[in-house]
Structure 1
């Protein structure tokens, strides 16, 4: 009998069934194909969460640097929250640190933050540097901007 129907019909029940099989060592009953798929997705979700916080943080740092007269407590709170969330991501999943050491990965999210900052400030995108003007240490430093 195929193990896929429950996966497609009731994901929560499927996960509970898989946990039960794992705990009892019933390896033959595991839906290995979907377990692998879900584990891979979990890893991608961890990366996406970090990337999302980084992008929002970079956008707000740009806004503060290029439109300081409009800086609000809301911006400050967003910056602080993003830094805290990034720290939580790194504490929960230390292997994510390697992404913050990858300049190309940071640049990918900086380009998006640059576009978003231009939209929010209504400034030309050319106002903002083509490459991220901040080091990762500055980005994560609670005293920076």
Structure 2
């Protein structure tokens, strides 16, 4: 095991700094390639997990807005969906920020929406106690609508 590989296990910050120095100096043969590849792979996985997680929450709240909000607003005049709106706004902001920082994720958005949607339906079903059949089988929102700050679905 090289000194850098050992450093990876004992002082990650110093390991990262040393690898950066070696890259700047173009001393490629001294790099800890195995751990660098592992870290780069994990970074991509982490960004994709965050994309999926934030889309899941956003889609679940859009579903609740569309299918439960009208029911609650009719029953309780004081219910205005403020907390749901806050969550929708927050998730859209966080997603926009994530996509600005990791623009390579843009190509994964459509697939991530499709993957997150069934989980969002399960979450909306559990939180609202509405039958699963209440919600469309396929995501009813376009990519543009999901990210549009002014889009809030209307009751069916």
Matched-pair contact (CA < 8 Å) for 1:64–1:71: no
Per-residue deviation, residues 75-127 of structure 1 (Å, max 9, x unmatched): 1011011111111122222222212234xx32210011111111111222222
Hey, what does 1:59 align to over in structure 2? 60
Larger Rg: 2
TM-score of the superposed pair, with normalisation by structure 1: 0.88
Task: Calculate the aligned-residue CA RMSD, in Å.
Answer: 1.7
Query: Which one of 86, 92, 115 corresponds to residue 83 of structure 1?
Result: 92
| CA offsets 1:3-61 (integer angstroms, 9 cap, x no match) | 42221222222112211222222222210111111112112222222222111100100
Which structure exhibits the higher relative contact order, with contacts defined as CA atoms closer than 8 Å and separated by 6 or more residues? Answer: 2
Counterpart position of 1:38: 39
Structure 2: gaps of 5 or more residues: 73-78
TM-fit CA distance, 1:71: 5.3
Match of 1:21 in 2: 22
Alignment of 1:88-107 (within 5 A): 88-102=97-111, 105-107=112-114
Q: Which runs of 5+ in 1 are unaligned?
A: none
